[in-house]
A and B are shown apart, each in its own frame.
Chain A
């Protein structure tokens, strides 16, 4: 690991100022992605700005919205009673990320900012039509994810919270890589104020995407049968040592049916 200056600012304004003042500085949340990257010398920041003391952790439920602070860790999300009751798909998703020790440190903001093509949260955020709040603006999920490891965030912009409109029904199904525990294919289904939305992670070469054909089939008939005959083409899907593009295409159908059946029964 290359050395760097470590800073732990006490306010959001100070953190943004540090990032603005130094294009080589990088934010640190739970470190579950960033520290392994630093160890491999894939990144050489001049300074690491720890977001731990900005007060960005916590969950609030009010009316039909659940707001999750960017620094809230996966265990807190998985065990929160409001999320369990109102967005069970998100609760189960958080409980399946990595392992307990990763879940104690990793955060939702870090996962979204990183936008790993096999990360879980992007699927929940996209399917639930959530809004990403930053230090300077609000970004709709449809505009936030811009391809593998790419988001709408400016280099010095920090996610502060994520606002989820509570869906009527939700579920997540994940076919995970047994070694890394990331999603080979993950499908989040939500039936909410924005209609039925189906988001697929782990499979697309461009990262998370919506499955529009399944969405329109489910809009009129929210059941696994409605999508049983939908074939997902393998073009544009990832193929690697873990799974071919064709296998991922097949898994999308299987995982989506399971997710819809689970959501419909909730």
Chain B
């Protein structure tokens, strides 16, 4: 069987996989990282979003072997070892941006990438558009948008630009 060597949440792994093994299957079934969810078969829901070499993507639509040599971050890799949450996780909690929590891991991973890609600031409309690859059946999105806006200044270490604040 072919092998894939990759770093997940800072730890090096070498794992035997099949050609058809998806990255999300490697994470959940081989490495036991079940925080990354699978919500659809059509690459539309975003429950499976992780970061590969710093960019958000759908781990249900990437072969494990395509990630050979890559560095992967999942929801489990965000909090500090002492349990301190990532600012995005903290703001999701503070703003009640989750109900059942099924979409949350993917939503948080997409939101972090979105905030990182926009050092110039984000308007509410840009946050909504930026999260269009993540579906939530519970919250109505409103509190998710609030949480992402609140995480921006924490992640960039400065107040949000006036134009971006509502």
Instruction: Report B-chain residues with C-beta under 8 Å of the C-beta of A4.
Output: 19-20
Contact B46 A101 (CB under 8 A): yes
CB of A63, distance to nearest CB on chain B (Å): 31
Q: How far is the CA of A227 from the CA of B73 in the complex (A)?
A: 51
Interface residues of A in 167-222 (CB under 8 A from B): 179-181
Interface residues of A in 1-43 (CB under 8 A from B): 1-6, 8, 28, 31-32, 35-36, 38-40
B132 close to A (CB within 8 Å): yes
Interface residues of B in 9-61 (CB under 8 A from A): 18-20, 22, 41-44, 46, 49, 55-58, 61
| B56 touches which of A40, A52, A101 (Cβ 8 Å) | A101
Chain B, residue nearest A34 (CB): B61
Contact B61 A32 (CB under 8 A): yes
CB of A173, distance to nearest CB on chain B (Å): 17
Contact B66 A100 (CB under 8 A): no
Contact A6 B63 (CB under 8 A): yes
Instruction: Report B-chain residues with C-beta under 8 Å of the C-beta of A8.
Output: 65, 68
| A102 touches which of B113, B117, B130, B133 (Cβ 8 Å) | B133
Interface residues of B in 121-149 (CB under 8 A from A): 130, 132-134
Q: How far is the CA of A2 from the CA of B21 in the complex (A)?
A: 10
CB of A69, distance to nearest CB on chain B (Å): 18
Contact size class for B? 20 to 34
A2-B20, A3-B19, A99-B132 in contact; A105/B57 too (CB < 8 A)? yes
A104 close to B (CB within 8 Å): yes
Q: How far is the CA of A32 from the CA of B133 in the complex (A)?
A: 13
Chain A, residue nearest B19 (CB): A6
Contact B42 A36 (CB under 8 A): yes
Instruction: Report A-chain residues with C-beta under 8 Å of the C-beta of B49.
Output: 101
Instruction: Report A-chain residues with C-beta under 8 Å of the C-beta of B164.
Output: none
Instruction: Report A-chain residues with C-beta under 8 Å of the C-beta of B56.
Output: 100-101, 104
A82 close to B (CB within 8 Å): no
| A31 touches which of B46, B62, B68 (Cβ 8 Å) | B62
B114 close to A (CB within 8 Å): yes
Instruction: Report B-chain residues with C-beta under 8 Å of the C-beta of A101.
Output: 46, 49, 56-58, 110, 133
B157 close to A (CB within 8 Å): no
Instruction: Report B-chain residues with C-beta under 8 Å of the C-beta of A98.
Output: 133
CB of B155, distance to nearest CB on chain A (Å): 17
Instruction: Report B-chain residues with C-beta under 8 Å of the C-beta of A31.
Output: 61-63, 66
| B43 touches which of A1, A2, A32, A48 (Cβ 8 Å) | A32
Instruction: Report B-chain residues with C-beta under 8 Å of the C-beta of A39.
Output: 41
Contact B18 A3 (CB under 8 A): yes
Contact A52 B66 (CB under 8 A): yes
| A99 touches which of B41, B55, B117, B133 (Cβ 8 Å) | B133
CB of A235, distance to nearest CB on chain B (Å): 31
Spell out B's residues near A (CB within 8 Å).
Answer: 2, 18-20, 22, 41-44, 46, 49, 55-58, 61-63, 65-66, 68, 110, 113-114, 117, 130, 132-134
